C-alpha cells in the first residue's frame, strides 16, 4: 500500500473497516447489555491513591499517543521502553507510518490494569477490532509513573486454546456480532487479568511462554500482529475511497450512518425510533440519556456487509468503555436503519465474571 494513501486516510474524520464476512445479521439474542458502568469500591485509601496516580498517567499517555506517540514516550517512557517501541515500528508498522498506526490503535483501544498490587503494575491496551494487545509495565516513581517495558501480542496468546488466527476473535463466530464483540472484549480482558494476577515481584514475562521466546515473538507473533493491523487499515482505506458508482450499497450505508450520528449529536436520536423498531427498550433508555456530545466523538471502526443488511460499528475516540452498532436492513442499496445496540463492555465483563458486580471493575472496563 502506498504510504501517502495511508496517511491521507488517517486524516479523514471517519474510520471504516470492512471485514470479509457474510452472515445473517438480523438474528440477535434476546438481550444486549446496555447499562452504563458503575463505580466500585477500592480496598483502601492507599490503593485508591496509587491506582488513581497510575490511571491518570495512563490516560494522559494514551491521549497524547493519539496525536503524537513520540511525545508520549518522551514524557512517560524510559530509554529501554523507547527502544522497544522503536523495534515495534520496524517489525509491526513496517508498511504503515508509525504515528498513524499508533494513533489508530490507541484511539479505539480498551485499557485495563493487571497485577494492580504488584510493585510495577501492568496495563494492557486491547484493540478488539484487530484483536491485538499492547501490554505495558509501569514503575511507580515518586514524580510520575514510568513506562519501563512493553510487548505487542495477538489476543490468541492470552486466551485458552491452541488456535492462532489472523481473523479477530469477535469475527470467528456466527453469533450476533454486537454480542460477539462484547463477549470477546470481556473474555480477553479477563484472561489478561487472570494471567498476570499472581506475578508478585517476579518478572511478568515468565507468566506467558511466548514472552520469553524472542524467536517466536519475532518470527510468528510480530508478523501476525502486523498483518492483523494492516488488514484493518487496508479495509479502512478501501471503504473510505470506495466510489458510489462502484458500490452503491456501501455508499448508502455510509450516508445513513452519518445521518444517524448527526441526529445524535443534535440531541435528536429519538427520531430513529420510527425505523429502528428492533431496538431494545433499554437501549433507547441509554441512548436518550447520553450527552449529545458523545456522538461527536464516534468513529466508525468496522463495517460488515451481510446477507440481509449492513452492520456498522462506531467507537468513541479515547474513552472506550463501549461501542455503538447500527444495523441497516435491506437488499442492494435499499437500506433502512432497523436496530441500534449499545455494547457496554462492563456488562459483558460482569456476566463472564459471574454473580454480582465485577471486582475492581474500575481497573478494567
Distance CA 113, CA 106 (A): 15
For position 98, what pLDDT does the model report?
93
Which position has the higher pLDDT, 30 or 219?
A: 219
Rama region for 131: left / alpha / beta (φ>0; ψ in -120 to 50; rest):
left
Spatial contact of 171 and 21, defined as CB atoms under 8 Å apart: yes
For position 198, what pLDDT does the model report?
65
pLDDT in tens, 344-354: 998 888 888 77
For position 4, what pLDDT does the model report?
29
- The whole-number average pLDDT for the span 50-59 is 90
pLDDT in tens, 225-279: 999 999 888 777 776 777 776 778 888 888 899 999 999 999 999 999 999 999 9
pLDDT in tens, 129-187: 999 999 999 998 878 899 999 999 999 999 988 789 999 999 998 889 999 999 999 99
For position 60, what pLDDT does the model report?
94
Confidence of residue 43 (pLDDT cuts 50, 70, 90): low
pLDDT at 11 over 70: no
DSSP code per residue over 81-132: HHHHHHHHHHHTSTTS-HHHHHHHHHHT-EEEEESTTSSS-EEEEEETTTTE
DSSP helix, strand, coil percent of the chain (3-state; round to 5) = 45, 20, 35
Q: How would you classify the pairing of strands 145-154 and 298-305?
A: unpaired
Q: Kindly report the CA angle at 152 between 299 and 343, in degrees rounded to 5?
A: 35
pLDDT in tens, 78-126: 999 999 999 999 999 988 899 999 998 999 899 998 877 788 899 999 9
> HSE-up of 228 (CA within 13 Å, CB side)?
26
Query: Domain boundaries in the chain?
Result: 39-239
DSSP code per residue over 29-81: -S----PPP-----S-HHHHHHHHHHHHHHHHHHHHHHHHHHHHHHHHB-HHH
Distance CA 281, CA 225 (A): 39
CA distance readout (Å), 277 to 262, 274, 285, 333, 351: 19, 6, 14, 20, 26
For position 268, what pLDDT does the model report?
93
- The whole-number average pLDDT for the span 177-206 is 86
3-state secondary structure of 206: helix
pLDDT in tens, 297-348: 998 888 888 888 999 999 998 778 889 999 999 988 789 999 999 999 988 8
For position 180, what pLDDT does the model report?
93
For position 47, what pLDDT does the model report?
73
Which position has the higher pLDDT, 180 or 5?
A: 180
Residues in contact with 249: Cβ distance below 8 Å, sequence separation at least 6, in sequence order: 305, 310, 332, 333, 335
Confidence of residue 62 (pLDDT cuts 50, 70, 90): very high
Which position has the higher pLDDT, 141 or 15?
A: 141
pLDDT at 22 over 60: no
Amino acid at each position: 500500500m502506498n504510504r501517502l494513501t495511508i496517511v491521507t486516510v488517517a486524516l479523514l474524520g471517519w474510520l471504516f473497516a470492512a471485514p470479509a464476512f457474510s452472515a445473517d445479521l438480523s438474528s440477535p439474542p434476546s438481550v444486549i447489555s446496555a447499562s452504563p458502568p458503575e463505580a466500585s469500591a477500592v480496598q483502601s485509601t492507599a490503593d485508591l491513591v496509587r491506582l488513581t496516580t497510575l490511571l491518570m498517567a495512563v490516560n494522559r499517555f494514551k491521549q497524547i499517543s493519539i496525536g503524537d506517540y513520540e511525545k508520549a514516550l518522551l514524557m512517560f517512557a524510559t530509554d529501554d521502553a523507547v527502544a522497544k517501541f522503536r523495534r515495534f515500528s520496524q517489525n509491526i508498522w513496517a508498511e504503515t507510518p508509525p504515528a498513524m498506526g499508533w494513533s489508530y490503535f490507541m484511539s479505539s483501544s480498551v485499557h485495563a490494569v493487571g497485577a494492580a498490587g504488584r510493585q510495577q503494575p501492568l496495563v494492557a491496551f486491547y484493540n478488539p477490532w484487530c484483536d491485538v494487545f499492547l501490554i505495558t509495565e509501569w514503575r511507580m516513581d515518586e514524580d510520575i509513573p514510568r513506562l519501563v517495558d512493553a510487548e505487542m501480542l495477538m489476543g490468541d496468546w492470552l486466551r485458552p486454546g491452541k488456535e492462532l488466527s489472523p481473523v479477530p476473535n469477535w469475527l470467528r463466530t456466527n453469533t450476533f456480532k454486537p454480542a460477539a464483540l462484547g463477549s470477546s472484549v470481556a473474555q480477553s480482558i479477563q484472561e489478561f487479568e487472570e494471567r498476570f494476577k499472581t506475578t508478585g515481584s517476579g518478572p511478568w514475562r515468565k507468566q506467558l511462554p511466548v514472552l520469553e521466546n524472542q524467536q517466536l515473538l519475532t518470527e510468528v507473533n510480530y508478523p501476525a500482529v502486523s498483518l492483523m493491523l494492516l488488514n484493518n487499515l487496508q479495509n479502512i482505506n478501501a471503504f473510505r475511497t470506495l466510489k458510489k458508482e462502484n458500490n452503491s450499497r456501501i455508499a448508502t450505508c455510509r450516508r445513513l450512518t452519518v445521518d444517524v450520528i448527526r441526529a445524535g449529536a443534535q440531541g435528536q436520536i429519538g427520531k430513529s425510533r420510527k425505523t429502528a423498531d428492533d431496538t431494545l427498550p433499554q437501549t433507547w433508555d441509554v441512548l436518550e440519556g447520553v450527552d449529545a456530545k458523545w456522538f461527536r466523538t464516534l468513529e466508525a471502526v468496522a463495517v460488515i456487509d451481510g446477507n440481509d443488511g449492513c452492520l456498522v460499528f462506531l467507537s468513541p475516540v479515547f474513552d472506550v468503555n463501549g461501542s455503538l452498532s447500527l444495523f441497516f436492513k435491506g437488499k442492494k442499496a435499499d437500506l433502512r436503519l432497523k436496530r441500534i445496540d449499545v455494547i457496554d463492555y462492563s456488562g459483558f465483563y460482569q456476566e463472564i465474571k459471574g454473580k454480582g458486580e465485577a471486582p475492581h471493575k474500575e481497573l478494567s472496563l
